[in-house]
């Protein structure tokens, strides 16, 4: 599985300036100020309900901030839609809907290929080429539910890449896929980044995903910390992020987060049970 | 043996048949969106709501189609807004708006009993009483809605499958929702005379569900659903002539029969495919069809 050079265009810059978002209640994001530079590959980490999805939706213009501004390449996001690619959580997809793999990928340019049912041979060939590069050759006419979890994830990635986005946003792209597929997806994203695309993805998998990303933003309503894993993976930052005692073990370049400290630090007594602290999404409904 | 071609010698029959084919096909086409957007209840409610408008129009001496259309468009947009806002339960809000409107029609009719019979067609459908004007309206609506669905195919598909991402990628989803609400209202107004308020919901839903069982592709589903709808219209009217049964009811019963058959066929195909997967494929044997 290799991404050809045709997929990517140069990256775009994403900037949050004092952004606060709410859904008729307490803020989900509060005073978030952050700049993601062109060509960065950034992971958003934080517990369930920490505002990761809201961050992505705000960047996409789907959630309007009540305060602050969001700029893509210096312009409001509504004027920069053509630069965006978005891969939603697979859980949000209606898998019973009658669409084939090719129909999904072509949606990526629904507003550019003409509104009528037929699509030019060139655009379809391009979609097929893209599918082939993502290891999905020959599956064009399959229904989306007939694919494996990793293939499904890649179909929706293909739909986003069909737009040749300069800013690619992915919501939990590695949830529900096996280890091999997770590696493939991460390799593919690294390749896209190497070609210049700016990529922001959310993940709740600290050890499996976050440690392998070059840059992390720790989000829990506010930005708790940001930087390479070597800098943000510290006991005090992660414990503050998850409101639970977490411990980081280093082995050379690799940092591993564990949620069973040998002894509970005194200041955390009475804090949340540590059992579900590492990957709380498994235990709580969204 | 009865002469099977006999009904075609009557002009009213040919006209009714044509109207039923057009109305059935139109309902099949629009029904794809009704089913995939989980709007069956809206279709059901909207048809009842439009009935209220039609009766009100009759009392005010307005043209049936003009009164029904105005009322239908207003109800459709009101329902569309209610669903989009999601403040109160959409189904409850729709129930209130449309049933109140239907009740208004019933109240007016029951107060002035002399024109009760005029509305029997609107309630249960009377395809054999289709006038030249009715046929013209059905044909024009079928053409108009067909063009809209064809010319907005990609944005409508995207907004139906994945409205959030469609919005990000520049599809005007609010306009697409409003457009579909209007298409649905027009379809109901045009098909009311043929199929009847109480039976339209079934004519909208059944062909689409049949088509869904036969294909996984959206494009094929639209083609199949339209064809099945038109076919049900034709067979239903033909049978209603011979058995002397209300036309709307016959059309719906034919559709329901086809639904049972398509369900059986889908089950059989699934079972066959599972068997084919369980057995190691023999050399030279054809691969199981998708």
**How far is A54 from A22, CA to CA, in rounded Å?**
9
Task: Tell me the count of A-B CB pairs closer than 8 A.
Answer: 91
Q: What confidence score (pLDDT) does residue B280 get? A: 57
Chain B residues with beta carbon closer than 8 angstroms to that of A159: 165
> Does B162 contact A60 at a Cβ distance shorter than 8 Å?
no
Q: What confidence score (pLDDT) does residue B121 get? A: 72
Chain B residues with beta carbon closer than 8 angstroms to that of A164: none
**Residue B190 in this model has a pLDDT that exceeds 50:** yes
Q: What confidence score (pLDDT) does residue A280 get? A: 41
Distance from CA of A5 to the nearest CA of B (A): 23
When mean pLDDT is compared across A247-256, B56-65, B114-123, the lowest value belongs to B114-123
* Strand-strand pairing, A254-258 and A247-251: antiparallel
Cβ(A207)–Cβ(A233) below 8 Å: no
Q: Shortest CB distance from A98 goes to which of B151, B154, B216?
A: B216
**How far is A12 from A2, CA to CA, in rounded Å?**
22
Q: CB under 8 Å to A73, separation ≥6 — which residues? A: A12, A13, A80, A83, A166
Chain A residues with beta carbon closer than 8 angstroms to that of B219: 103, 117
Instruction: Write out the two tokens for B208.
Output: 């689409």
Instruction: Write out the two tokens for B33.
Output: 């969106």
**How far is A162 from A126, CA to CA, in rounded Å?**
8
A116 touches chain B (CB under 8 A): yes
> Does B153 contact A115 at a Cβ distance shorter than 8 Å?
yes
Q: What is the largest CA-CA distance in chain A?
A: 67
Q: What confidence score (pLDDT) does residue A150 get? A: 86
> Could you tell me the pTM of the whole model?
0.85
Backbone dihedral angles phi then psi of residue A168, each to the nearest 5 degrees: -110, 125
Domains and CATH numbers, chain B: 10-270 (1.10.3470.10)
Q: Shortest CB distance from A62 goes to which of B155, B164, B215?
A: B164
Q: What confidence score (pLDDT) does residue A267 get? A: 55
A98 touches chain B (CB under 8 A): yes
Q: Shortest CB distance from A116 goes to which of B153, B164, B221?
A: B153
B217 touches chain A (CB under 8 A): yes
A18 touches chain B (CB under 8 A): no
> Does A142 contact B290 at a Cβ distance shorter than 8 Å?
yes
**One pLDDT digit (tens) per residue for chain A, 286 residues:** 444 444 556 788 999 999 999 988 899 999 999 999 999 999 999 988 899 999 999 999 999 999 999 999 999 998 999 999 999 998 889 999 999 999 999 999 998 998 888 999 999 999 999 999 898 999 999 999 999 888 999 999 999 999 999 999 999 998 878 888 888 889 999 999 999 999 999 998 888 888 889 999 999 999 999 999 888 888 888 888 888 888 888 877 777 888 765 555 555 554 444 444 444 443 333 3
Q: What confidence score (pLDDT) does residue A279 get? A: 42
A115 touches chain B (CB under 8 A): yes
> Does A143 contact B216 at a Cβ distance shorter than 8 Å?
yes
Would you list the DSSP string of B175-202?
HHHHHHHHHHHHHHHHHHHHH-HHHHHH
* Interface with chain A: mutation pick from B86, B146, B154, highest number of A CBs within 10 Å: B154
Q: What confidence score (pLDDT) does residue A265 get? A: 56
Instruction: Write out the two tokens for B14.
Output: 């040919």
* Interface with chain A: mutation pick from B148, B215, B216, B288, highest number of A CBs within 10 Å: B216
Alpha-carbon distances, residue B33 vs A41, A75, B111, B205, B207 (angstroms): 39, 36, 38, 9, 12
B189 touches chain A (CB under 8 A): no
Q: What confidence score (pLDDT) does residue B289 get? A: 46
Chain A residues with beta carbon closer than 8 angstroms to that of B155: 110-111, 115
**Residue B174 in this model has a pLDDT that exceeds 60:** yes
Higher pLDDT pick, A101 / B130: A101
Q: Shortest CB distance from A94 goes to which of B154, B155, B161?
A: B161
> Does B153 contact A117 at a Cβ distance shorter than 8 Å?
yes
Instruction: Kindly provide the ipTM of the predicted complex, given to two decimals.
Output: 0.83
**How far is A188 from A87, CA to CA, in rounded Å?**
14
Give the chain B residue nearest A108 (alpha carbons): B169
Cβ(A22)–Cβ(A131) below 8 Å: no
A123 touches chain B (CB under 8 A): no
Higher pLDDT pick, A16 / B93: A16
Note the pLDDT tens digit of each residue in B222-259.
999 999 999 999 999 889 888 888 778 888 999 999 99
Chain B residues with beta carbon closer than 8 angstroms to that of A84: 168-169
**How far is A284 from A89, CA to CA, in rounded Å?**
16
Distance from CA of A59 to the nearest CA of B (A): 10
**How far is A22 from A30, CA to CA, in rounded Å?**
9
Three-state DSSP state, A41: strand
**How far is A64 from A29, CA to CA, in rounded Å?**
11
Q: Shortest CB distance from A110 goes to which of B155, B164, B216?
A: B155
Interface of A with B in 21-40 (CB under 8 A): none
Q: Which residue has the tokens 């039609």?
A: B54
Instruction: Identify the CA nearest to A271 among candidates A246, A237, A235.
Output: A246
Cβ(A41)–Cβ(A190) below 8 Å: yes
Q: Is the dihedral of CA A226, A227, A229, A233 positive or negative?
A: negative
Mean pLDDT in chain B?
A: 86
Q: Shortest CB distance from A81 goes to which of B150, B151, B168?
A: B168
**How far is B237 from A34, CA to CA, in rounded Å?**
67
B154 touches chain A (CB under 8 A): yes
* Share above pLDDT 70 across residues of chain B, in percent, rounded to a whole number: 91
Q: What confidence score (pLDDT) does residue B287 get? A: 47
Chain A residues with beta carbon closer than 8 angstroms to that of B218: 97-100, 103
Instruction: Identify the CA nearest to A45 among candidates A185, A220, A243, A189.
Output: A220
Domains and CATH numbers, chain A: 14-282 (3.40.50.300)
B155 touches chain A (CB under 8 A): yes
Chain A residues with beta carbon closer than 8 angstroms to that of B153: 115-117
Q: Which residues of B172-197 are buried (b: 16+ CB within 10 A; e: fewer)?
A: ebeebbbbbbbbbbbbbbbbbbbbbb
């Amino acid at each position: 599985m290799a991404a050809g050079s045709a997929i990517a265009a140069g990256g775009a810059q994403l900037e949050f300036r004092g952004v606060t978002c709410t859904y008729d209640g307490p803020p989900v994001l509060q005073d978030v100020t952050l700049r993601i530079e062109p060509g960065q590959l950034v992971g958003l980490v934080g517990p369930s309900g920490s505002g990761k999805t809201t961050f992505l939706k705000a960047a996409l213009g789907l959630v309007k901030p009540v305060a602050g501004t969001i700029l893509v390449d210096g312009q409001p996001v509504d004027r920069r839609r053509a630069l965006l690619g978005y891969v939603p959580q697979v859980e949000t997809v209606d898998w019973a809907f009658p669409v084939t793999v090719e129909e999904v990928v072509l949606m990526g340019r629904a507003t550019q290929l003409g509104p009528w049912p037929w699509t030019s041979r060139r655009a379809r060939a391009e979609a097929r080429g893209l599918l082939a590069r993502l290891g999905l050759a020959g599956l064009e006419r399959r229904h989306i539910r007939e694919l494996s979890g990793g293939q499904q994830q890649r179909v929706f990635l293909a739909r986003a890449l069909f737009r040749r986005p300069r800013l690619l946003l992915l919501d939990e792209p590695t949830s529900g896929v096996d280890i091999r597929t997770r590696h493939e997806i991460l390799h593919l994203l690294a390749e896209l980044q190497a070609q210049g695309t700016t990529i922001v993805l959310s993940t709740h998998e600290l050890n499996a995903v976050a440690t392998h990303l070059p840059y992390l933003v720790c989000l829990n309503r506010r930005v708790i910390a940001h930087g390479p894993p070597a800098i943000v993976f510290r006991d005090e930052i992660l414990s503050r992020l998850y409101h639970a005692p977490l411990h980081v073990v280093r082995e050379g370049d690799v940092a591993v987060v564990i949620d069973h400290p040998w002894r509970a630090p005194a200041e955390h007594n009475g804090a949340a049970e540590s059992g579900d602290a590492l990957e709380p999404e498994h235990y709580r409904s969204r | 043996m009865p002469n099977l071609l006999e009904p075609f010698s009557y002009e009213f029959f040919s006209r009714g048949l044509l109207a039923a084919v057009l109305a059935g096909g139109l309902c099949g086409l629009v029904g794809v969106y009704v089913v995939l957007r989980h709007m069956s209840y809206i279709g059901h409610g909207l048809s009842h709501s439009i009935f209220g408008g039609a009766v009100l129009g009759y009392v005010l001496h307005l043209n049936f189609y003009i009164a029904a259309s105005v009322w239908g468009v207003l109800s459709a947009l009101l329902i569309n807004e209610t669903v989009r806002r999601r403040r109160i339960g959409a189904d409850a809000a729709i129930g209130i708006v449309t049933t109140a409107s239907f009740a208004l029609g019933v109240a007016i009719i029951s107060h002035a009993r002399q024109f009760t019979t005029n509305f029997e067609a609107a309630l249960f459908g009377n395809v054999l009483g289709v006038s030249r004007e009715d046929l013209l309206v059905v044909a024009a609506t079928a053409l108009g809605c067909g063009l809209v669905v064809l010319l907005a195919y990609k944005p409508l598909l995207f907004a139906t499958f994945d409205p959030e991402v469609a919005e990000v990628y520049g599809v005007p989803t609010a306009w697409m929702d409003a457009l579909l609400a209007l298409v649905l209202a027009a379809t109901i107004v045009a098909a009311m005379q043929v199929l009847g308020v109480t039976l339209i919901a079934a004519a909208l839903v059944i062909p689409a569900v049949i088509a869904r069982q036969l294909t996984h592709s959206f494009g094929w589903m639209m083609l199949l659903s339209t064809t099945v709808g038109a076919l049900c219209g034709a067979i239903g009217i033909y049978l209603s002539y011979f058995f002397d049964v209300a036309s709307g009811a016959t059309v719906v019963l034919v559709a329901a029969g086809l639904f049972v058959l398509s369900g059986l066929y889908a089950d059989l195909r699934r079972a066959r495919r599972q068997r084919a997967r369980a057995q190691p494929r023999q050399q030279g044997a054809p691969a199981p069809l998708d």
